[in-house]
Amino acid sequence: MRIINAMVRWLAFGGVNPNILTIIGVTINVGCGVLFGFGEFFWAGIVLILANLFDMLDGNVARVSGRVTRFGGFLDSSLDRLSDMVAFLGLIVFYASNTPQHSLLNVTLAGVGMIFSVMVSYTTARSEGFGVKANVGFLQRPERIVLLIIGALSTFPNSTSFFANRMPQVLWVLAIGSLWTFIHRMFYIWQEIRKIEAVDSK
């Protein structure tokens, strides 16, 4: 955090626009998706780490420099969804390609993970309009990113070693975990809205 804080202060002092950092971060994430698509998993993991460094910087730079804006928050939230999807899309392209690693199961798992990771974020954003803060569930965005990094850095598609092919297992966790977190949030939001409606009816 010392390093992150020093970078934040330096960028804020230099007058760097936080929105530029957000755009750089999502651009790097697109590169991560491309690397996944070509089967360069290790380098995709390294790029994913770099991309999320920018994700940590933009909001902090905005706060330190006093440049927090509604559009900045909207841009950051919207591009985060794009960043999530391009990584999964890259995995879908790789496992759908005509290679020895071709796997309909992995394509399906990546697709399910992509759908419900977006739905988890959408339910949170939508519920805030009803006055409900729904940051519940064990598989939120930071956990998804960490899992993708672990899967990427421990997968070498051309290796025959069981221990060098962890991404399929990570996809199972992402698919099931994202689905469960979505269901958890939907149930939680339903409960909270019922409480609000009960208070309003009194």
User: Which pLDDT does position 1 carry in this prediction?
Assistant: 67
Q: CB–CB of 200/161 below 8 Å?
A: no
The pLDDT, as a whole number, for residue 90 is 95
Annotated catalytic residues are 80
Distance of CA 39 to the CA centre of its chain: 20
Q: Tell me what the mean pLDDT of segment 164-178 comes to.
A: 93
Distance from C-alpha of 159 to C-alpha of 165, rounded to nearest angstrom: 8
Which pLDDT band, with edges at 50, 70 and 90, does 11 fall under? confident
Q: Which domains does the chain possess?
A: 2-200 (1.20.120.1760)
How far is C-alpha 86 from the geometric centre of its chain's CA atoms?
10
Nearest to 174 by CA among 102, 116, 89: 116
**CB-CB contact of 89 with 27 (8 Å):** no
Residue type (1 letter), 66? G
pTM: 0.87
Is 7's pLDDT higher than 80? Answer: no
Alpha carbons 90 and 20: distance in angstroms, whole number: 24
Kindly indicate the confidence band of residue 91, based on its pLDDT and cuts at 50, 70 and 90.
very high
pLDDT in tens, 18-72: 888 888 888 999 999 999 999 999 999 999 998 888 777 877 888 877 877 888 8
For 72, residues 6+ apart whose C-beta sits below 8 A from its C-beta are: 18, 19, 22, 58, 62
Please give the structure tokens belonging to residue 100. 């020895």
Tell me phi and psi for residue 155, to 5 degrees: -125, 125
Cα separation of 41 and 16, whole Å?
Answer: 31
